[in-house]
């Protein structure tokens, strides 16, 4: 359920930023499969999936892609940083210095 909520928040966030082409990556194959599926989602978290797909449908291009846990190191690093912070931080044009090494190690 947490992964579905995170995907919905990601789609809402890019819509708020007026980003019209986006790829949402996640390491939970069940959630990504549900987001890529056709029709209504019949899982316990189906209403969240359906809302995410509806919001994604308002964008020019919204793709959902599964990545292995190892390929998602930067997201996990940023999530840990967010949990430890009392503030809501958004990094749009730069990364915090303490996660730049993780970013560069994820590049092909």
Tell me the C-alpha distance between 65 and 72, whole Å: 12
The 10s digit of each residue's pLDDT in 53-105 is: 999 999 999 999 998 877 677 777 777 777 776 677 677 777 777 778 877 77
The 10s digit of each residue's pLDDT in 10-48 is: 999 999 989 889 998 888 889 999 999 988 888 888 899
Q: By C-alpha distance, which of 52, 12, 59, 61 is closest to 28? A: 52
pLDDT at 94: 75
Q: Name all domains of the chain by residue range, CATH numbers in brackets.
A: 2-67 (3.30.420.10), 70-106 (no CATH)
């Amino acid at each position: 359920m947490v992964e579905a909520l995170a995907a919905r928040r990601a789609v809402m966030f890019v819509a708020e930023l007026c980003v019209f082409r986006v790829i949402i990556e996640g390491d939970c194959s069940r959630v990504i499969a549900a987001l890529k599926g056709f029709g209504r989602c019949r899982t316990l978290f189906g209403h969240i999936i359906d809302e995410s797909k509806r919001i994604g449908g308002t964008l020019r291009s919204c793709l959902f892609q599964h990545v292995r846990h190892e390929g998602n190191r930067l997201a996990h690093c940023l999530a840990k940083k967010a949990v430890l912070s009392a503030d809501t931080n958004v990094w749009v044009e730069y990364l915090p210095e303490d996660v730049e090494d993780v970013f560069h190690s994820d590049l092909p």
